[in-house]
Structure 1
């Protein structure tokens, strides 16, 4: 059951409020060295640490060596995409068991297709794959997909599982592709001169404040909210205003960014998209 603006904790000092990540939002296991409960907490938002998915860097040391040798961002991005094509045999489907002409094969479903699907519909099949991947790798459970996912026996939750399974069926190590995409994103964020410190200020347009789980609110339109395990933000405040009457302004820890619009060449340029892992966040709600 969601808490809204009218029935949450009200305080004059949000710093004095102790709120832990609700149990419904996290799982016991993930692929990082932090617990999901810690990763999704307010202290993590304030003081983040690097997140490494276990084994990814070690398995792809040769890619990192090639990236380190390149000084230009666009060249590194192209090198990454070339590496993905070769390592995951994205251009040679017959080598991974696909039979030409088979009606159930999904040769073209790769990390790029999944990203485009998310941009097209954050409640679609590709989005279900991404939310399932976040749950597996970071231990933060999806809270919403075409409706609340509170009840594991509900039609909404069963439909989510069905979409997730269908989205990943008969693809080539799709979750491992997403693992490497996340690590490349983090690599590039660490090399960006425009990013200072451990956070980036991002924006999200919202129409109804009560569509979000608001756990506490304080002065200056600040609030503590529980976000879905994967969310769309933008680094363009004006762009955010196109999607709602209110703007949610958030200091997002860099390790919780899994993709941003300038990461790969010739893709998603006009969207201003930044994909952010969820959990508890201290936010500021403002009108444009």
Structure 2
């Protein structure tokens, strides 16, 4: 090593959030991930997505109902990204494989929020909003670590990056935001949701405010339910909070597919939230 150059800084990083700064929504992650942002009424849009796909939003503009909009979105995505089973003439049978789909990732999350497909979704949140995860199979603390290595390997798994998958999720998010503003559901600005948990490994308590009120740092992508009773089935403790609709990636009724819909599940972009925490069976 050149003796005139400084030694590289190889010290472990206590919290990668301290140096992560990517953002494609025009708001720094430190602001976007703060609890105060959740009351700001700021709209979010992923840079360039609507401009790149004007045809989709022209189609959506002709839709009078959510059902029609969901069908138009599914049609556009299938046509633009070649979704569906491989054509018979796409080569030898052993080499044919269906193109990766946003629906595949949503179903993967529904089956296991710590799967490789779920890691791809968490990686998308990192890339677009700059919010790093705090949990994937185990707490993601000091960087580097074996837990971080496993997460980084799974979020970049080439099996799920063969069909512009981040761009697909961009369109899912933008379609969801269009739908909220157009149909005023489940918003228009906020939605009260519940999350059940048996421990706080997947979220960190930053500050206890008073009694059962606390400020927590949620994972960068996390599931909530619109039903308190449903949330209680997933853990002894329940977190209750108001989610700004600009932080919804997915909500029931958005798609005509059954992905996540059967459980009334919402996919929420994380960060810090003020919550009411209580024992689900009290």
Fold match by TM threshold 0.5:
yes
2:142 is paired with a residue of what secondary structure? coil
Offset, 1:245? 1.2
Name stretches of at least 5 consecutive residues in structure 2 with no aligned partner: 1-14
Change over 3 Å in CA distance of 1:168–1:201 after alignment to 2: farther
Offset, 1:168? 4.9
1:82-128 Cα offsets, whole Å, 9 max, x none, are: 0001111224857xxx644354x642421000000001000001000
For residues 81 and 116 of structure 1, what CA distance do their matches in structure 2 show?
A: 15
1:90 aligns with 2:52: no
The question of whether the paired residues in 2 share the 8 Å contact of 1:185 and 1:259 is answered with yes
1:143 to 119, 126, 134: 134
Offset, 1:46? 1.6
180-189 or 106-115, which deviates more:
106-115
Match of 1:4 in 2: none
Change over 3 Å in CA distance of 1:229–1:263 after alignment to 2: same
1:218 is paired with a residue of what secondary structure? strand
1:56 to 24, 40, 49: 49
Larger RCO (alpha carbons 8 Å, 6+ apart): 1
Aligned residues: 264
Change over 3 Å in CA distance of 1:91–1:198 after alignment to 2: same
The alignment's C-alpha RMSD in Å is 2.2
Change over 3 Å in CA distance of 1:229–1:168 after alignment to 2: farther
The question of whether the paired residues in 1 share the 8 Å contact of 2:17 and 2:131 is answered with no
Give TM-score scaled by structure 1 length.
Answer: 0.85
2:176 to 175, 185, 188: 185
Offset, 1:212? 2.9
For residues 48 and 100 of structure 1, what CA distance do their matches in structure 2 show?
A: 52
For residues 86 and 126 of structure 1, what CA distance do their matches in structure 2 show?
A: 23
2:270 to 260, 278, 283: 278
For residues 62 and 205 of structure 1, what CA distance do their matches in structure 2 show?
A: 40
164-173 or 183-192, which deviates more:
164-173
Change over 3 Å in CA distance of 1:76–1:26 after alignment to 2: farther
Give TM-score scaled by structure 2 length.
Answer: 0.86
Match of 1:7 in 2: none
Name stretches of at least 5 consecutive residues in structure 1 with no aligned partner: 1-21
196-205 or 233-242, which deviates more:
196-205
The question of whether the paired residues in 2 share the 8 Å contact of 1:25 and 1:143 is answered with no
1:287 aligns with 2:276: no
1:127 is paired with a residue of what secondary structure? helix
80-89 or 185-194, which deviates more:
185-194
